[in-house]
């Protein structure tokens, strides 16, 4: 089967912020994300988790995810955009180039239904796309004990 993005894919964030809120969801954090974000706030890992995160039970374990505001926006979404942009989680850094989204032309088109930046702007090469997908491989969400 031929790779649907062999000639690359276009994406440019339009600032719509749909991926940062609107609908409920999870921003699962890796250990590196937690360390980077706690450093951003110059607080301990424990204080960061207690203040900005929630535990999400998944099959007998719990993962760490960012809190959401009552309107489902990310806890860090501000009127000007992401309040932790330089320290944002890997999940956010690599969107929309996630394996589940770029897997097929159909999955890419389906994501475009909620993301106006897909199909517009900068052309990402196949190599760039595959590197962004690889960045998340093996980076499991941080498991915590209750």
**pLDDT one-digit tens code per residue, 60-116:** 899 999 999 999 999 999 998 999 999 999 999 999 999 999 999 999 999 999 999
- The residue behind tokens 């944002």 is 88
This prediction has a pTM of 0.90
- Residue 140 banded pLDDT, cuts 50, 70, 90: confident
Six token digits for residue 74: 């990310």
Contact 142, 63 (CB under 8 A): yes
Nearest 5°: the CA angle 51, 53, 59 is 145
Contact 53, 66 (CB under 8 A): yes
- Give the pLDDT mean for 14-38: 93
Give the per-residue pLDDT at 21. Answer: 87
Give the CA distances from residue 56 to residues 27, 74, 129, 135, in Å, rounded to whole numbers and listed in that order: 10, 15, 29, 23
Give the per-residue pLDDT at 145. Answer: 74
CA 51 to chain centre: 19
User: For residues 16 and 37, which has the higher predicted lDDT (pLDDT)?
Assistant: 37
Is residue 138 scored above 90 in pLDDT? no
């Amino acid at each position: 089967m031929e790779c649907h993005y062999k000639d690359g894919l276009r994406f440019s964030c339009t600032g719509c912020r749909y991926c940062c809120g609107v609908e409920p969801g999870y921003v699962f954090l890796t250990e590196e994300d937690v360390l980077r974000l706690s450093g951003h706030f110059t607080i301990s890992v424990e204080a960061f988790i207690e203040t900005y995160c929630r535990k999400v039970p998944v099959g007998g374990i719990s993962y760490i995810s960012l809190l959401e505001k009552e309107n489902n926006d990310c806890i860090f979404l501000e009127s000007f955009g992401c309040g932790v942009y330089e320290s944002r989680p890997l999940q956010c850094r690599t969107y929309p180039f996630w394996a589940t989204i770029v897997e097929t032309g159909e999955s890419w088109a389906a994501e475009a239904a909620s993301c106006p930046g897909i199909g517009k702007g900068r052309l990402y090469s196949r190599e760039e796309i595959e590197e962004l997908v690889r960045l998340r491989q093996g980076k499991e969400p941080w498991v915590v004990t209750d």
